[in-house]
């Protein structure tokens, strides 16, 4: 019989039979059968003890597994995953530890998920992060944006409005909006201000309703914020990483709250978004803050929202002008145009080191730089970069 026709079991039996003969050279047989002497003597001992069953293939699984995860811990990990299908090993391990269980390593939790058929990485994650910056305290900076639009069963579109605190990652607001109009956003902002107080700075992108494009970033919504003493900032055009925390929040929102199918209507959307916001703020471990929950790092602002906007006194020496219809102001008989959102409001012109060039302030914020040596035309607003704040009013 050719060698290739013999199974591994047949070869073992043949070896044991020949090696058990009187006077057999066991080491010579080991060389002929291509096995180590230690293996040959092991098979021979088992064959003499139990016959053919003694040399059958055995499981390599250890008899004991002292580091095996307890069944209760494994069940708890799967239960967390069932409640939050988008969470991976790191978040689940953090939740188990927070609940007082002997939490395994995140990699072990990932293996538990894989062993039970849970898909890993289906909802994103694993990408290299941008270099992070973080403001020192809650309410130093809020990030605000819309998460696109989402179709609903009624045929309407849902526009989720998101407001995120930069320091704590606390979700200030997650609103189910029926549109992206100024009045809608201002209404939800006012509610947030009444509950949490005012931030020092609020950053948005350059689109409507908080911007009118990169060249004209001020709209009535921005003026509303400035009237409350909130500094307005805009992200760099074509650089979504400027608002990276809110962008990352949108990924989690899509994976965990918007992927289950269309909402029936705005009321159902509002309820579900509110429920998920509670999970995000108070239960969901956040990797960027050491697996803490955002609520543990957030505190409300001491700056109160004011229903009535108080008059603003500019500094002595400022040249004050009221913005006319069309956005025009004049100085020494020359006209310049500001964003129309400021019409009817008083602005201050402050001289710069260059003669004839003025910084224009509305309340506490520089809104434009005007060169009165140039022909009349549109003022070019300054560029806003949140990592490098603009000069603020000294008064």
Residues lower than pLDDT 50 in the chain: 1-4, 124, 126-131, 238, 379-395
- Per residue in 97-127, pLDDT (tens digit) is 788 777 778 787 787 777 766 666 555 454 4
- What pLDDT, on the 0 to 100 scale, is given for residue 241? 55
Q: Tell me, what's the pLDDT at 6?
A: 60
d(CA 41, CA 30): 9
pTM of the model: 0.67
The predicted pLDDT at position 234 comes to: 81
Q: In whole angstroms, what is the distance from residue 291 CA to residue 88 CA?
A: 12
CA separation, residue 296 to residues 68, 166, 348, 354 (Å): 33, 14, 42, 49
- Triad 313, 385, 394: Cα angle to 5°: 25
Q: Read off the pLDDT of residues 2-29 as tens digits, 9 standing for 90 and up.
A: 444 567 888 888 899 888 888 889 998 8
Q: Is-contact 161 188, C-beta < 8 A?
A: yes
User: Which position has the token pair 């008059």?
Assistant: 311
Please say whether the beta carbons of 269 and 152 come within 8 A: yes
- Which 8-state DSSP code applies to residue 292? B
Residue boundaries of the structural domains of the chain: 3-55, 71-115, 141-297, 311-395
Spatial distance between the Cα atoms of 285 and 275, rounded to a whole number of angstroms: 16
CB atoms within 10 A of CB 235: 25
Q: Are 294 and 286 in contact (CB under 8 A)?
A: yes
Q: Which helix (H) or strand (E) holds 30?
A: helix 26-33
CATH number for the segment(s) 141-297 = 3.30.420.10
């Amino acid at each position: 019989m050719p060698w290739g026709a013999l199974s591994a079991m047949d070869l073992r039996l043949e070896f044991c039979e020949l090696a058990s003969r009187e006077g057999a050279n066991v080491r010579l047989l080991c060389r002929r059968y291509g096995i180590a002497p230690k293996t040959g003597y092991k098979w021979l001992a088992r064959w003499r003890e139990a016959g053919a069953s003694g040399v059958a293939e055995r499981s390599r699984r250890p008899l004991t597994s002292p580091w095996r995860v307890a069944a209760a811990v494994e069940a708890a990990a799967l239960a967390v995953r069932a409640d939050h299908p988008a969470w991976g090993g790191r978040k689940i391990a953090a939740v188990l530890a927070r609940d007082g269980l002997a939490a395994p390593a995140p990699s072990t939790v990932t293996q538990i998920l894989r062993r039970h058929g849970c898909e890993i990485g289906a909802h994103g994650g694993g990408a290299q992060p941008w270099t992070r910056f973080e403001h020192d305290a809650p309410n130093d900076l809020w990030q605000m944006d819309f998460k696109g639009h989402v179709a609903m069963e009624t045929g309407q579109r849902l526009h989720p409005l998101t407001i995120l605190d930069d320091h704590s990652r606390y979700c200030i607001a997650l609103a189910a909006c029926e549109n992206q109009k100024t009045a809608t956003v201002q209404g939800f902002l006012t509610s947030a201000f009444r509950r949490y107080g005012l931030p020092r700075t609020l950053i948005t992108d350059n689109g409507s309703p908080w911007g009118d494009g990169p060249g004209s970033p001020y709209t009535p919504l921005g003026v509303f914020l400035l009237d409350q003493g909130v500094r307005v900032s805009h992200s760099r055009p074509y650089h979504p990483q400027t608002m990276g925390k809110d962008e990352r929040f949108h990924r989690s929102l899509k994976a965990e709250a918007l992927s289950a199918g269309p909402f029936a209507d705005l009321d159902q959307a509002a309820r579900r978004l509110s429920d998920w916001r509670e999970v995000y703020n108070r239960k969901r471990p956040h990797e960027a803050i050491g697996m803490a929950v955002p609520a543990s790092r957030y505190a409300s602002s001491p700056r109160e929202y004011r229903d009535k906007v108080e008059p603003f006194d500019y500094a002595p020496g400022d040249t004050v002008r009221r913005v006319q219809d069309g956005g025009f102001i004049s100085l020494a008989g020359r006209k310049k145009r500001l964003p129309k959102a400021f019409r009817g409001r008083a602005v201050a012109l402050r001289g710069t080191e260059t003669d004839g060039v003025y910084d224009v302030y509305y309340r506490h914020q520089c809104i434009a730089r005007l060169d009165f040596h140039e022909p009349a035309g549109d003022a070019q607003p300054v560029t806003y970069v949140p990592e490098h704040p603009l000069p603020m009013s000294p008064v």
